[in-house]
Amino acid sequence: MTDYYEILGVERDATPEQIKKAYRRLARELHPDVAGAEGEEKFKDVARAYEVLSHREKREQYDMGVDPTAPGGGAGGGFGQGFGFQDIFETFFGGGGQAAGPVPRARRGQDALVRLDIDLVEATFGAKRELQVDTAVVCGTCGGKGCRPGTDLQTCVACHGRGNVQRVARSFLGQVMTTAPCDVCKGFGTIIPEPCAECSGDGRVRSRRTLTVNVPAGVDTGTRIKLTSQGEVGPGGGPAGDLYVEIREKPHEVFVRRGDDLHCTLPVPMTAAALGTVLELDTLDGAQEIDLRPGTQPGQVVTLKGLGVGHLHGNGRGDLNVHVEVQVPTALDDEQVEVLRNLARLRGEERPEPRLAAAHPGVFSRLRDKFSGR
């Protein structure tokens, strides 16, 4: 069986790109116009090898020992059976086929991205913000046509407005008609005889604009707000792309955000935690009373429902979680020391018996990391 891999000069595990590259190189070398008539048979061998190895199913058959181009061999057929002649045109003429016509000068502009810094209050309740953007806009002098006022586009004399030209080239198939973009008008079919002095014929200029952005409640860092048709105006005064506003939320001095919930720490004196008290906390919604029950423990969480960040895709808001931090006094005068000693005697805690309780797994993890030097 013919070794198609050897004919193309590639390894048996070659990728489709490597096979295609090897075929194109050999096809150019063995073209009859280059190698003469004696190269025609070798060219057919190269083409047959490429026909098999570039087709996934045929290559699988070949790797299993079946030549799909042989009579009765799988897909059957001979040279040219299901062969991609488009590859031949691309190899020798850099394209081919029929062109779609002149390229329109007005094309859609690119999308643009800007960033907007907001604070926690704006993320919680939403806001309206003014944003300055520097983008391409339609040229006010020529209205996007690219021509000096008083002049107009002219039909290209080289392609007669078609945007492409046809050429005849020789190949082993005979004379082949190819189509390529016109070099004079660059495929537009028209030329600008006198470009606009303001935009140099592009139909657009850069300008700074002020836009109003509606920031919905619930946005977070990384959220993108789409402003349709507020991006870059396209060449030739084409339609504008979209503008994306990416949100960056600034850290708050008191509250930490986790999803749509807010967290804060409330320092409480030891006596207030033991006896219970009512404290006033400044939240994003104003002052709120916190009712601490007698015997409040360090780390206890008091949840204020619905005082968190608004939900971006739904109604309602998250919660505000207040983490109690019991403060133990460190500087006591003699009278305060005596009071605490009397309390300890009354509670039988002058010499408390040490009782170990099960620790949270996180404690052991931190201890392990400490001793291991992590």
Q: Which CATH architecture has domain 4-93?
A: Orthogonal Bundle (1.10)
Give the span between the Cα atoms of 260 and 315, in whole angstroms.
12
Q: What angle do CA 224, 318, 320 make, to 5 degrees?
A: 120
Give the span between the Cα atoms of 111 and 88, in whole angstroms.
37
Backbone angles phi, psi at 109, to 5 degrees: -80, 170
Task: Please check whether the two domains, 4-93 and 112-153+192-249, share a CATH topology.
Answer: no
Q: What is the residue whose two structure tokens read 């895709």? A: 313
Closest-CA residue to 155 (of 192, 190, 122): 190
Q: What is the residue whose two structure tokens read 């040219």? A: 80
- Annotation: CATH topology of 256-371: HSP40/DNAj peptide-binding domain (2.60.260)
Give the span between the Cα atoms of 132 and 209, in whole angstroms.
6
Mean pLDDT, 10 residues at a time, over the chain (374 residues)? 86 89 83 65 84 86 75 44 46 47 89 95 96 94 94 92 82 69 91 94 94 95 95 93 96 95 95 93 94 93 95 92 93 89 85 66 48 49
Give the pLDDT of residue 85: 47
Q: What is the residue whose two structure tokens read 């002020």? A: 210
> Domain limits of the chain?
4-93, 112-153+192-249, 256-371
The domain 112-153+192-249 is placed in CATH, from the list 2.60.260.20, 1.10.510.10, 3.30.1640.10, 3.20.20.70, at 2.60.260.20
Give the span between the Cα atoms of 136 and 130, in whole angstroms.
19
Would the annotation count 147 as a binding residue?
A: no
Contact by Cβ (8 Å): 73, 203: no
The rounded radius of gyration (Å) of the Cα atoms in the chain is 39
Contacts 24+ apart (CB under 8 A), 194-199: 194/147, 194/148, 194/151, 195/146, 195/147, 195/148, 196/139, 196/141, 196/142, 196/145, 196/146, 196/147, 196/148, 196/149, 197/141, 197/148, 198/139, 198/140, 198/141, 198/142, 199/139, 199/141, 199/142, 199/146
* pTM over cut 0.85: no
Would the annotation count 199 as a binding residue?
A: yes
